[in-house]
Amino acid sequence: MMGHWIIAPVVLPAFVAGVMVLALRSDLLLKRIAGIGSILALNAIALALLWSATIHGPEVYFLGEWPAPFGIVLVLDRLSALMVALLAALALPVVLYAIGSGWDRKGAHFHPLLQFLLMGIGGAFLTGDAFNLFVFFEILLIASYGLMIHGGGSVRTRAGIQYVAFNLVGSSLFLFALALTYGLTGTLNIADLAQKLPTLPEGDAALLRVTAVMMILVFAIKGALVPLQFWLPGTYANAPGVVAAMFAVMTKVGAYAVLRFGAVVFPPELAATGSLLQDLILPAGLVTLALGAIGVLGATTLPRLVAFGGIASMGTAFTAIGAFTPETSSAALYYILHSTLATAAMFLVADLVTRRRAHARLTEVAPPIAQSGLISALFLAGAVAMAGMPPLSGFLGKLLILDAFRTQEALVWTVVLASSFLMILGYARAGSVLFWKATALEVPAGRWPREGLAFSATIALLAGLAGLTVLAGPLTDWLGETAAGLYAPEAYIAAARLGEGG
Amino acid sequence: MEALVAIAIGTLTAVGIYLALRMRTFPVIVGLTVLSYAVNLFLFTSGRLTQNRAPIIGTSDVYADPLPQALVLTAIVISFGMTAVIMIMAIGGFLESGHDRVNMADAAGDDETGDAAGEERA
């Protein structure tokens, strides 16, 4: 049993960020040490939470010892522990890359903002209260606004304003949905909602459907699901590469929330919503996947290409989530693990390229860059992972998803396979334009530092993908049990100990 | 009173959405602010509209629901902070680019990241 450790992924980054802002303002070295230390500790805590959730099952943490439906609770179960572990595992290479590439020198507050982002995302994964989810969304968003415009520049700032405006509208929508939920049920505790919604009177069914759709719209904005994906390419392509890599886990917050709400709060058995969410999310996921693949083929710059690759991976994940069965959810979780690391690795590779070159256009043959041999090898590995080719985990992830959709194979298989083909074309084209030269060109030697740390961080992410591939067997068993537990939320509801208090 | 509050929320929402769809940053920010007023009012009414009741058990026979009041307070603080952030970003964008249009047209489309990378190099 983890006791107070459940809140550590929220409190630790918040505390470290506060110390950084107040005490370590001007000392970059100390900020770096504090940042790495905090993230290492977060990794250790996340692994302990994962272990505890696996052994002991779901566990609740009452903030301020207020009893459950009235106070705020954090709930640790296998899914939330897994997502926190993924967050921590991604944060370590990202912070190392930021240090190795010198991105954290370009503004005063990179490290504190990263810590606040970790706090917001970790809290969103752990919370057991819908309004608290909104609060953590805002924390992660306000940190992401700062990170997005890190390094400055007029284009980046104005892309940032679009991103903020879009998300503010999304937040308003979330508040409308929460107010409707509270007006209908008188509670915002997720476990309490799961118990109360089936007992709602018949007359409230229409309102409940509106609420469910509004909630899903908000999560779709976070997860960049078509038709709400417009903010993503501009934001990710204009953000610093290392920040875009960290943002790869931010879209997964949307996927996590859809999974949690679709399985626990609005399950397919709920009469009022029924298969409404399936009917909306599954086709939207397929369209997202197709659009992402076309975007990969048509992107004009490398960061945009990776951003569209990220959209395609969210499409794949949402397709699998959208069926709302344990089998597809298990496949979706494996794919989410894979695509977070793969997208982040590709953003880092794109950053390695764009920082060495005056432009990142894919429409014209580019001059050679320093260290192009290693970078092109990394690009190849990342592209193989993103497109879902063997031998890396993208292939296994797609295979699991295809296998889970045996009953709807005509439509889902066609879209997944055709878009994989488009993505292979897109990455191959980008790779040949960027790296492939018919004649040997003079490489400008000595202009660039070796950046061993930055390369190690990128390689570490790709090694994570290899690890996912090697451990696919035990991992899918574990994910299968996680997904089965998600659709039998009795343990989750029992763990929330409604009306008892700490 | 229900009709009055409903009309107020509806009007505020409509005004907010209209302004948020404008071409320049300043009306967009005003629109987002108005939208947040609408949503705060809506959140407040989710605890039912009551008059002359304290949100404390025991002071009167019937009490107002205190939770939406706490929720709306949180929402107000957050939207206030968000407005400040977007305001600062808008001013920064205006000072750097010399105009406050929301579109990215003068970024020359395909040169977005190249532009940013070029600035860092310089």
| Interchain contact B12–A (C-beta under 8 A) | no
Overall pTM > 0.90: yes
Of the candidates B41, B103, B21, which has an alpha carbon nearest to the alpha carbon of residue A172? B41
- What residues have CB less than 8 Å from A95, skipping those under 6 apart? A35, A36, A39, A111, A114
CB B117 to CB A168 under 8 A?
A: no
Using one digit for the tens of pLDDT, what is the confidence trace for A420-429? 999 999 999 9
Structure-model confidence comparison of residues B27 and A435, the more confident one:
B27
Whether residue A502 lies inside any domain: the answer is no
In three-state secondary structure terms, A129 is: strand
pLDDT of residue B17: 94
pLDDT of residue A445: 57
In three-state secondary structure terms, A75 is: strand
Sign, CA torsion A435/A440/A446/A447: negative
DSSP A274: T
Q: Rounded distance, CA A24 to CA A17, Å?
A: 10
Predicted confidence (pLDDT) at residue A452 exceeds the cutoff of 90: no
pLDDT of residue A502: 45
Predicted confidence (pLDDT) at residue A68 exceeds the cutoff of 50: yes
pLDDT of residue A447: 62
Using one digit for the tens of pLDDT, what is the confidence trace for A169-206? 999 999 999 999 999 998 899 999 998 898 888 888 89
Bridge partners, residue A62, by sequence: A73
What percentage of chain A reaches a pLDDT higher than 70?
95
Neighbours of B106 (CB within 10 A): 13
| Interchain contact A275–B (C-beta under 8 A) | no
Q: 465-484 in A: which are within 8 Å (CB) of B? A: none
CB B32 to CB A168 under 8 A?
A: yes
Q: What is the DSSP string of A369-411?
A: -TTHHHHHHHHHHHHHHHHT-TTSHHHHHHHHHHHHTGGGHHH
Q: Rounded distance, CA B69 to CA B21, Å?
A: 30
Query: Which DSSP helix (H) or strand (E) runs through A59?
Result: strand A59-62
CB A165 to CB B110 under 8 A?
A: no
| Interchain contact B120–A (C-beta under 8 A) | yes
Report the range out of A310-319, A439-448, A486-495 with the highest average pLDDT. A310-319
Structure tokens given for A270: 């709920």
- A420 and A335 in contact (C-beta within 8 Å)? no
Predicted confidence (pLDDT) at residue B110 exceeds the cutoff of 50: no
Whether residue A38 lies inside any domain: the answer is yes
Q: Rounded distance, CA A167 to CA A221, Å?
A: 8
Query: Per the omega criterion (within 30 degrees of 0), is the bond before A444 cis?
Result: no
Of the candidates A329, A368, A375, which has an alpha carbon nearest to the alpha carbon of residue A479? A329
Of the candidates A76, A82, A80, A88, which has an alpha carbon nearest to the alpha carbon of residue A1? A76
Using one digit for the tens of pLDDT, what is the confidence trace for A210-220? 999 999 999 99
Report the range out of A75-89, A371-385, A428-442 with the highest average pLDDT. A75-89
Q: What's the complex ipTM? A: 0.85
pLDDT confidence band for B121 (50 / 70 / 90):
very low
Residues of B in contact with A304 (CB under 8 A): 112-113
- As a whole number, the mean pLDDT across chain A is 89
Measured in angstroms, the CA of A441 and the nearest CA of chain B are apart by 22
Structure tokens given for A153: 């520049």
pLDDT of residue A9: 94
In three-state secondary structure terms, A188 is: coil
pLDDT of residue A149: 86
H runs (alpha helix) in A186-301: 190-196, 205-223, 231-238, 241-247, 250-260, 276-298
CB B46 to CB A361 under 8 A?
A: no
pLDDT of residue A333: 95
Predicted confidence (pLDDT) at residue A257 exceeds the cutoff of 80: yes
CB A182 to CB B20 under 8 A?
A: no
Average pLDDT over residues A257-262: 94
Residue with tokens 């530092």: A449
Structure tokens given for A289: 């996947």
Sign, CA torsion A321/A325/A326/A330: negative
Q: 209-248 in A: which are within 8 Å (CB) of B? A: 234, 237-238
CB B114 to CB A360 under 8 A?
A: yes
Residue with tokens 């179960």: A77
| Interchain contact A460–B (C-beta under 8 A) | no
Query: Which DSSP helix (H) or strand (E) runs through A62?
Result: strand A59-62
Predicted confidence (pLDDT) at residue B113 exceeds the cutoff of 80: no
Bridge partners, residue A129, by sequence: A189
pLDDT of residue A499: 65
Using one digit for the tens of pLDDT, what is the confidence trace for A299-309? 888 999 999 99
Whether residue A440 lies inside any domain: the answer is no
Using one digit for the tens of pLDDT, what is the confidence trace for A378-412? 999 999 999 988 888 989 999 999 999 988 778 89
Number of domains in chain A: 1
For domain B2-51+64-105, is the CATH number 1.10.287? yes
Query: Which DSSP helix (H) or strand (E) runs through B9?
Result: helix B2-20
In three-state secondary structure terms, A351 is: helix
CB B117 to CB A301 under 8 A?
A: no
| Interchain contact A302–B (C-beta under 8 A) | yes
| Interchain contact A120–B (C-beta under 8 A) | no
Q: 45-104 in B: which are within 8 Å (CB) of A? A: 45-48, 65, 67-68, 71, 74-75, 78-79, 81-82, 85-86, 89-90, 92-93, 96-97, 102, 104
Of the candidates A373, A85, A114, A403, which has an alpha carbon nearest to the alpha carbon of residue A256? A85
Sign, CA torsion A184/A227/A430/A319: positive
CB B32 to CB A172 under 8 A?
A: yes
pLDDT of residue B105: 62
Q: Rounded distance, CA A424 to CA B69, Å?
A: 53
Neighbours of B87 (CB within 10 A): 14
Angle at the Cα of B43 (from B42 to B44), degrees rounded to 5? 90
Q: What is the DSSP string of B71-117?
A: HHHHHHHHHHHHHHHHHHHHHHHHHHHS--BSS-GGG-GGGHHHHHH
Which amino acid, B56? I
Structure tokens given for A30: 């100390």
Using one digit for the tens of pLDDT, what is the confidence trace for A206-247? 999 999 999 999 999 999 998 888 889 888 988 899 999 999
Domain that holds residue A356: 3-435+445-495
CB A158 to CB B93 under 8 A?
A: yes
CB B111 to CB A359 under 8 A?
A: yes
**Ranges A199-203, A421-425, A447-451, A458-462: which has the least confidence:** A447-451
Bridge partners, residue B101, by sequence: B24
